[in-house]
Structure 1
Amino acid sequence: MKCLDTFLLIVTLAIGATAEASVRTCEPIKVAMCKNIGYNQTGMPNLARHTLQVEADVTLQTYSPLVQYGCSSQLHLFLCSVYVPMCTDKVALPIGPCRGLCESVYERCYPVLRGFGFPWPSELDCSLFPAENNHEHMCMEGPGERVPPIGTIPLDTATTNGRGACRRLVKPNSWVWVRGSGRCAQFCDAEVLWEAGERKAAEVWLATWAALSFACTLAAVGAQLACGDRGGAGERALVLVALCRCAAAAGWGVRAAAGRSAAGCAKDSMSPTRMLLAHDGLANPNCAVVFLLLYYFGLAASVWWVVAAGAWRASVLRPPASPVSARNDRHSSLLQLAAWGVPAALAAAVLVTRDVDADELTGTCFVGNQSSKSLLALVIIPEAICLLLGSVFLASGLRAILQRSPPVPAPAALLNAPPQPHTDQSLLRLGTFAALYAVPSTCILITWIYEYTWRDDWLAAPVPSTEPSTQPRPAFWVFLFRIFATQILGVMVAVWIATPRLKAFWKRISGPRKPTLAKCPTGPAPAPLTLQCYAAHSHSLPRHPHKYSTYRPPQHQSYRKPRHYHYSAGETIL
């Protein structure tokens, strides 16, 4: 009897093994979503108890929006390993995902499903899968999460999984994928890099310095117009620098008057009730006006500073006998075209490419606030070129001054000529100011390079790890210093222009100054001396023509009584 039972058990196990082998027959993958996944053979039933690939294909189609969203770079492999598992003739059971792969996908994609109101599917429960891949339980561990740097997949570049780019950013719930522009846009009130207190402090700081710069530059330009003194080419260029800085300060004023939301935010085209930080300058007129005033006139001021440095160099290298402004006036048309045309061309290019965007800290529209490529190409490179050209002009002029031979003594005929120190003093003032102007400009350029270098690290989402890590944040004082340096340029040029002209204007309206009386010596005042001449007395003899002749013989020489001069002090002096 026992032998019969043993025989029946062996037959039953053999039949079961044969049935299992027949069920697990490997077949080519027919599901389009899982082709070219890394393996090409599968077997049914799968881990979700589907017996046909058609059933698995229908279920996988329901996950297509989640795959396109890009919450996890391993989601595609995970789903295929569950619904279309790998099959090989050497292993009887299907090879599905490991528990680590499931947990990695769950950590990144479950918040997305929960946000849309969907639960995590029961057949994807991570406890159902092997803990590790070994000889007892084979499974697929996956290549790991691939989080490419922000510079590799730009925010403003549309990709097949564009929404996934937003999930790779810090605080992903503060971003939304804008299909029309093909980029991730930040919510207007979201605090991603800056807190509310920092925004408020930056806005007060900006308004204060912008008002001071606008008032100073406006006063300087008004003093120049009142005096009516054009000066040389360098001085005229600096007046235009002041005018450009005044217009740029007016741009900050427009931003302060309109407010953060009206000037730096725009409505989402997909949801009109949702406000996003401006990423398209043409969508908000206030944003476009602020950008034009800041970018165009700011870059024009840099170009005019280069013109002023070049004019100073030409004045230093020019022989004394040549006209002061002949060469500059000859090329004035080209200088005007370069100073106004180049910034206009760059501003037009920014508007055409729709690269105008607002920054989170102040809500001010500029270029490159959200795009690193635009920051490099349209801000850093033009400013660096202007700074380099101006520095070359200044260095060349300074070298010519240091190598200049001492002046030859003037001949005696020119010693009585009036001195002319005005030209040398003007050149000295112009060169000194052009050199001082380069210092804040260099600092501003360094802050732009700092932002361009570290922005990707600030915005990249932290990689999940067992060890706690600190998310890098931008230095608040660097951005405050940029605001200060930008506005102090206008104050500097205003002080340089207004100081001598206001002094001359004050002399003109106050009239000639009265002569200063000499101070009397201390002590008792002496009695005034009154000179009295008694040249004509009533007893004087009449003049005779022969009596006062030039030559007289000694015996006929007569003696004439000298005249007496009496002073009121009682003394008589002969």
Structure 2
Amino acid sequence: MAENIRMMQWTFCAVFSLLVQADCHSMFACEPISLRMCRDLPYNMTFMPNLLNHYDQQSAALAMEPFHPIVNLECSRDLQPFLCAMYAPICTEYGRITLPCRKLCQRAYLECHKLMEMFGVTWPEEMECVKFPDCDEGYPRLADSVSDSDPTEEAPVAVQRDYGFWCPRELKINPELGYSFLGVTDCSPPCPNMYFRREELSFARYFIGVISIVCLSATLFTFLTFLIDVKRFRYPERPIIFYAVCYMMVSLVFFIGFLLEDTVACNRSEPSIYKASTVTQGSHNKACTMLFMVLYFFTMAGSVWWVILTITWFLAAVPKWGSEAIEKKALLFHASAWGIPGTLTIILLAMNKIEGDNISGVCFVGLYNVDTLRYFVLAPLCLYVVVGVSLLLAGIISLNRVRIEIPLEKENQDKLVKFMIRIGVFSVLYLVPLLIVIGCYFYEQAFRTIWETTWIQERCREYHIPCPYQVTQVSHPDLILFLMKYLMALVVGIPSVFWVGSKKTCFEWASFFHGRKKKEMRPFHPSSLCQRSILFEFMEGE
């Protein structure tokens, strides 16, 4: 009750003092100024509640927070003393309330209002200049803060520029974590995703979850078919099995991300570390690090195994290497397929470039850092495609030459044509989704800056940060683009089913479930001219 009476007394007194410039603060005691912005003024004592009805200096400091960047940019020498006159008014031993002069208010407002618009900061109604006395004596200010500028002058030219991205206090992160966002350190993107609404994210998560289940089923079936009869899949088709294993792990990670939602990809709000829910970065989150390692490693390894598959086809088609000769290079193939992705993964871990993907729930790279996307995702994938397609075309041309120039029986001709068709279809089923993924990445990195600028422009006033200056292009990302990227990134693993999908596979699974011993296949003997060719060894088992 006493506190309510005190509040009513102060409200009445403050309004009365503003209207008639009366002295009525004698009922309150002075206290030292603790506000960071007002510690270097000629006076060091204030009183609370202040002229804006803040009952303690903590609430006054919180209300002054949006003005800090504007004061730091020094748009006006009068802004700081005027703000302090309102939020931390001088307290004399006689309890006299001293109001700032109207000219001080006008100079501060006119010189800084455009910059305030850029930061999304509004001038409080209680601070309208008409409410202050028209006096010649200014409020106590810094020694060099006197300004002789005409209150009718326009804002200085310095505010007519782009101040870049300023990290909002809600997105600031503990400096020990080493986060960065839009080139600003100790900052992280918001969760949920900064571009999409919650209902869109929910739809995307379930969409990715369903596709990951389909891909996981297809690749797992391929791998289990291989385990039933390991000797059936020899080189040059053995890389298909390892390719399927890689995408089985990729789809498993996406499925785990679907189950986890954004619990790993996002940092929950913790007052001591995170002021708001933000995107996980770096390797401090062990679960996020593990998801990243598995996803990135097997994504790159899957592409390398496809390149190795084209190499084995090339060796079988052009120099006519046999299965045994190709298998002697298996150690080199494994060293390349696992070593290259492993090296890239270690480099990214050392660079601390892991980022949470709050759309899919996993962790990857290049989601917010364009340079990382270019050098560690786009560049390797493009290199794999160029090498693989070149070898594939050379192998197909050689196979076609064999079909035309070497006389074969009608049965062998049909089998060779069938083999060529299978190679072509499998390659298209892999290449088309991969090229779409690469296209999505190129489109994303090309428009990323525009999307970020648009986001800043739309949220600058809410976050009290500088708004972009003279935005020429505004654009929002399309959810379809991201859904297509995730779809194609998972679909590339499904073509492995195409390769094992045959009558022989059905017979093997039937024998496995019925416990019957698989019958030995009658060997096929091609003509003496091509007896040692792996093409016929490969065709006869299908």
TM-score, normalisation: structure 1: 0.61
2:448 aligns to what?
455
Whether the 8 Å CA contact 1:245–1:301 is kept in 2: the answer is: yes
- Structure with the largest fraction of helix: 2
Structure 2, unmatched stretches of 5+, are 1-37, 45-61, 82-103, 133-138, 140-144, 179-184, 458-465, 520-542
1:131 aligns to what?
152
2:491 aligns to what?
488
Whether the 8 Å CA contact 1:268–1:276 is kept in 2: the answer is: yes
Whether the 8 Å CA contact 1:458–1:474 is kept in 2: the answer is: yes
Deviations 1:69-103 (A, max 9, x none): 9976895241348789xxxxxxxxx9x97976421
- Residues of 2 paired with 1:384 and 1:487: CA distance? 18
Over the aligned positions, Cα root-mean-square deviation in angstroms equals 4.5
1:237–1:66: structure 2 CA closer, same or farther, 3 Å change rule?
farther
> Map of 1:168-317 to 2, 5 A cutoff?
175-180=171-176, 181=178, 182-189=185-192, 192-261=194-263, 263-267=264-268, 271-272=272-273, 274=275, 276-317=277-318
1:541 aligns to what?
none
2:59 aligns to what?
none
> Map of 1:396-435 to 2, 5 A cutoff?
396-401=394-399, 406-409=404-407, 425-435=418-428
1:146 is aligned, of 162, 166, 176, to 162
Identity %: 18
Q: Secondary structure at the match of 1:145?
A: coil
- Structure with the largest fraction of strand: 1
- Residues of 2 paired with 1:192 and 1:499: CA distance? 47
- Residues of 2 paired with 1:503 and 1:60: CA distance? 90
1:58 aligns to what?
40
1:188–1:98: structure 2 CA closer, same or farther, 3 Å change rule?
closer
Deviations 1:103-142 (A, max 9, x none): 122224574999xxx9899889x9x953346xxxxx8443
Task: State whether structure 2 residue 105 is matched by structure 1 residue 105.
Answer: no
The alpha carbon displacement at 1:147 in A equals 3.8
2:329 is aligned, of 327, 331, 335, to 331
1:159 aligns to what?
none
- Residues of 2 paired with 1:405 and 1:491: CA distance? 29
- Residues of 1 paired with 2:256 and 2:296: CA distance? 14
- Residues of 1 paired with 2:344 and 2:355: CA distance? 15
- Residues of 2 paired with 1:468 and 1:381: CA distance? 31
- Residues of 2 paired with 1:497 and 1:71: CA distance? 66
- Residues of 1 paired with 2:195 and 2:430: CA distance? 31
Whether the 8 Å CA contact 2:206–2:258 is kept in 1: the answer is: no
Q: Which amino acid aligns with 2:449?
A: D
Task: State whether structure 2 residue 75 is matched by structure 1 residue 78.
Answer: yes
Q: Which amino acid aligns with 2:172?
A: V
Whether the 8 Å CA contact 2:223–2:245 is kept in 1: the answer is: yes
Larger radius of gyration: 1
Whether the 8 Å CA contact 1:176–1:187 is kept in 2: the answer is: no
- Residues of 1 paired with 2:468 and 2:509: CA distance? 71
- Residues of 2 paired with 1:290 and 1:391: CA distance? 30
Q: Which amino acid aligns with 2:381?
A: E
Q: Which amino acid aligns with 2:152?
A: A
Q: Which amino acid aligns with 2:307?
A: V
- Residues of 2 paired with 1:355 and 1:274: CA distance? 22
1:103–1:289: structure 2 CA closer, same or farther, 3 Å change rule?
same
Aligned pairs, number: 410
Q: Which amino acid aligns with 2:405?
A: P
- Residues of 2 paired with 1:452 and 1:466: CA distance? 22
1:130–1:255: structure 2 CA closer, same or farther, 3 Å change rule?
same
TM-score, normalisation: structure 2: 0.64
1:408–1:297: structure 2 CA closer, same or farther, 3 Å change rule?
closer
Q: Secondary structure at the match of 1:304?
A: helix
1:83–1:279: structure 2 CA closer, same or farther, 3 Å change rule?
closer
2:378 aligns to what?
380
**Bigger mean CA deviation after superposition, 461-470 or 199-208:** 461-470
- Residues of 2 paired with 1:60 and 1:347: CA distance? 57
1:441–1:109: structure 2 CA closer, same or farther, 3 Å change rule?
closer
**Bigger mean CA deviation after superposition, 293-302 or 101-110:** 101-110
The alpha carbon displacement at 1:368 in A equals 1.4
- Residues of 2 paired with 1:335 and 1:183: CA distance? 42
